[in-house]
Structure 1
Amino acid sequence: MITERVLNRRTVIASSLLGSAALLLGTPTRASASAADASGVTLTLPAPTGPHPVGRHELYLVDDSRPDPWNPAKFPVRELMLTLYYPAVAIGGTGPAPQLPSQVATVFGALAPQGSEQGLPSSGVDWAATVSHSYPDAPVLPGRRPVLLHSPAGGDPRGLGTTLAEELASHGAVVVSVDHPGDAAAVQFPATTAFRTSLVRRTVFRGDPRNDPSQYRTMIDTRIADLRFVLDQLAVAPSLPLPLPDGLAETLDLRRVAAYGHSAGGSAVAELLHDDRRVRAAVNLEGFLDYADGPLFPVAADGTDRPLLLLGTDGASFRAQLDVSWSALLGRSGPRARRAQFAQANHYVFTDLAAMVPQLQADGLVTAAARSGLVGAVAPEVSVPEVRRAVRRFLARHLAT
């Protein structure tokens, strides 16, 4: 019998005390509205809790075997931007990287309040000022590391998943966070090309892709193809035209690959698990497992023969629709799939907004209702450690050897 484990304040508070302390002690003091500069409030992210410092490397890849699905006439190849988070030996020299590149931050701040993150302020926040806890091209800690693919929510930049990615890397994994251009709010590239004259490519979305079945199908199918291409490239990492930091390619243990994603990213990684035997386990953070016009994804229609964790919230407005495909998968998968739910939470609790939105509310830039609609009423001192713990323990258990 499939059971649902509910993660609520009473069940998690005791186990969250240690993680919450690390969260609070590791988070730098945030500038208040009165102390912030003219560009707006500066927000902070929780520090990772693992034993290793975290390095990061930005990687540009081109798949010349396919045109870009969103605009094949303009983009004859598929471009991708990745961030690789990895355990480092030490940090120093340059400071930590920003959460979002400057031009991405500008576009995100303009588009997010009108998109799926309605309730975020349209002004008063310096989105470019938030710094991460990972250091560009820091020296790599030797060893063989599991590889975790990350796919963000539809329309979101990959940087909105910084907190969880850094946490997983600090505990010994290499996390490969993938932007999906044309889908993501904005993607900032290192240079222009003959066919792309701007450093930044903006999203094609003008509403919820679930309301356009054709667009939604393109989004999911494109993400799966992107992730499979990334795995292909990691297999030949030592010969990539843009070299990785010394020793990073040698740490990639491609016998231990898993994937996690939020919303559309969760949908994509669940189907990736079904389609690609290189992936040993996956975590779907509140993503549908059916197409917008009705058919189940193959992973839901067939069930999974490898571990899949479905994490949801009690506050998501689409819980009833989500349950259709999730129940189908659970009924066909036996113990290989499990489901858990976070109480007093909402859809974006799985992103950096879990920590950022309460800061915005404290500064009077987000209402209580908006906070509830984005991340729920749960305190970040509870939600951030518990989301981290649930994802980390599940993946570690299934990638141990």
Structure 2
Amino acid sequence: MLHRHVGRRAVITSALAATAGALLAGGAGAPAAAQARGTADGITLRLPAPTGPYRTGITTLYLVDRARRDPLEPRIPVREVMATVFYPARTVRGCPRAPQMTAGAAADFGADGRRSHPELPASGVNWAATMTHSYTGAPADAVRRRPVLLYSPGGGDPRTMGTCVAEDLASHGYVVVTVDHPGDACEVEFPVTMTGRDTVRPTVLRYDPRTDPALFRTLIDTRVADLRFVLGRLAELAAGRNPDAAGRPLPEHLGRALDLRSTGVYGHSAGGTAAALAMDEDRRIGAAADLEGYLDRAPETPGGLGELYPVARYGADRPLLLLGSDGFQDRKGLEHSWPAALAHSQGRASRRQLGHAAHWAFTDYAVLAPQLQAAGLMTAADRAKLVGTAAAVPAVRHHLRSFFARHLSAHRSGTAAHG
């Protein structure tokens, strides 16, 4: 049962120590445009500007799959998904810049983000103050239809921690849809209330799901189903209908900007696993990028080998990018499934590696962690453990732009649109 949301959870903020205000260079590896700023409510972290020629618009979609009960919370009678759409804008005049997180999501992230990432500070950051470079509700540039990319974040992470890459891809002419997986993500704020949950829904994860094969299977299966469901709702949008379950208005011409004949998917960690599997199962997807996600099931016994997913056992029949880091603490865990996918894909899969990087270098933490270190809110060791020491954001942006530019146009020429 849906109810209109009448209020938001108050933002939880913490005072910043006085010594953290002297922030000049943002730390080694942080782009000059992404430097934190101190206030009484804590430092405000900054995201780097996109590099493409288009200004970008942003909107959110609240999507409800009434054919599925929520697999992670039995009290919720349907499966809900929140998504953010980044797109090339025709104009941004009169439109406000959007925050990275909603107020309620930022409050929960500030309180609970350390459960997934103990390297993050317990206080001293105003998570609600970070702004994107995208403009809320700006009319879409629909001079031509544009390739569509879906993004699935890492386990426990919210979709908002994929903003740097999503904005950049949109500024180069893509429509990018970042997808939250409620119950998995550390926090998801909804525009309406629902039986069985609060307006801001926290994660159910309390430990590494790879240590629980049944839970890992459920998480991955849910993510794949979420991505395929979102793709179906985007088809409704492209056909001129509004898929938002709350009936909220959409930016002008947004549906006309979607070219669903040219669709790709990328994801980080568990999201990378889901991206590869979604492409393997769904012919609407023409290319996938797996950013350090396993391609095998969680092993049934500690130290054992998990069953290979079909995309690794039989290979990919469409382009698949496997992008890893040299500092991933479980690099050995990828060496069962990634070589198998490469060997069986007949040249359609490729592997690349980021140097001086760690597992979360594929996310916004890559630019936020150096700012936290410069402010004295994160140690150099914790920064290196979380994201490494390299300036990873430009490299990740480049790899994904190059990959999808090479492969989506070929898919578009040979695949019919799907509704």
Q: Alignment partner of 1:324: what SS?
A: coil
Q: Kindly provide the amino acid, as one letter, of the partner of residue 123 in structure 2.
A: S
Q: What is the CA deviation profile of residues 206-241 of structure 1, one whole-angstrom value per residue up to 9, with x for unaligned ones?
A: 111111111111000000000111111111112225
Please state how far the C-alpha of 1:110 moved relative to its aligned partner.
2.2
Residue 107 of structure 2: aligned partner: 106
1:327 equivalent to 2:339? Answer yes
The aligned counterpart of 1:3 is: none
| 8 Å Cα contact 2:87-2:170 kept in structure 1 | yes
Higher mean C-alpha displacement, 61-70 vs 288-297: 288-297
Q: Structure 2 vs 1, CA of residues 256 and 233 (structure 1 numbering), >3 Å: closer, same or farther?
A: same
Q: Which amino acid aligns with 2:331?
A: R
Counterpart check, 1:369 vs 2:381: yes
Q: 1:159 maps to what in 2?
A: 160
Which residue number in structure 2 is paired with residue 43 of structure 1? 45
Matched, 1:384 2:393: yes
TM-score with structure 2 setting the length: 0.85
Q: TM-score if structure 1 supplies the norm length? A: 0.89
Q: Does 1:297 align with 2:299?
A: no
Instruction: Please state how far the C-alpha of 1:197 moved relative to its aligned partner.
Output: 5.5
Amino acid at match of 1:202: P
Compared CA separation, residues 197 and 282, structure 1 to 2 (3 A): closer
Question: After superposition, where does 1:27-66 map in structure 2 within 5 Å?
Answer: 27=33, 29-31=35-37, 36-66=38-68
CA 1:354–1:95: 2 relative to 1, 3 Å? same
Q: Does 1:131 align with 2:143?
A: no
Where do 1:2-401 residues align within 5 Å? 24=31, 27=33, 29-31=35-37, 36-72=38-74, 74-115=75-116, 117-142=117-142, 143-193=144-194, 195-196=195-196, 198-237=198-237, 238-241=240-243, 242=247, 243-293=249-299, 294-378=306-390, 380=391, 383-400=392-409, 401=412
Partner Cα separation in structure 2 for residue 245 and residue 125 of structure 1: 32
5+ residue gaps, structure 2 = 1-29, 300-305, 413-419
Moved more, 86-95 or 383-392: 86-95
CA contact (8 A) 2:158 2:180 kept: yes
Distance in 2 separating the partners of 1:39 and 1:218: 39
**Which one-letter code corresponds to 1:97 in the other structure?**
A
Q: Structure 1: 5+ residue runs without aligned partners?
A: 1-22
Residues 1:369 and 1:251: Cα distance change in structure 2 (over 3 Å): same
- What is the percent sequence identity of the aligned residues? 54
SS, match of residue 84 in structure 2: strand
Contact 2:34 / 2:367 at 8 angstroms: preserved in 1? no
The residue type paired with residue 53 of structure 1 is: R
SS in 2 for 1:355: helix
Deviation of 1:94 after TM superposition, in Å, equals: 3.8
The residue number in structure 2 matching 1:14 is none
Q: Distance in 2 between matches of 1:91 and 1:29?
A: 24
User: SS in structure 1 opposite 2:156?
Assistant: coil
Say which SS state the counterpart of residue 239 (structure 1) adopts: coil
* Offset at residue 287 of structure 1 (A): 0.5
CA distance in 2, matches of 1:100, 1:70: 23
Distance 1:130 1:356 in 2: 10
Q: Secondary structure at the match of 2:286?
A: strand
Looking at structure 2, the residues matched to 395 and 75 of structure 1 have their Cα atoms a distance apart, in angstroms, of: 36
Per-residue deviation at 1:24?
A: 4.5
Residue pair 2:320, 2:348 contacting (<8 A) in 1 also: yes
The alignment yields a C-alpha RMSD, in angstroms, of: 1.4
3-state SS in 1 of match to 2:333: helix
1:317-357 deviation per Cα after TM superposition (whole angstroms, max 9, x unaligned): 10001111111111111210000111100011100111110
- How far, CA to CA, are the matches of 2:112 and 2:198 in structure 1? 18
Q: Once the 2 structures are TM-superposed, how far is the Cα of residue 95 of structure 1 from its aligned partner?
A: 2.6
Aligned equivalents of 2:236 and 2:129: distance in 1? Answer: 35
Aligned equivalents of 2:138, 2:407: Cα separation in 1: 28
Counterpart AA for 2:154? A
CA offset at residue 301 of structure 1? 1.0
Partner SS state of residue 169, structure 1 = helix
Measured in 2, the distance between the counterparts of 1:121 and 1:128 equals 15
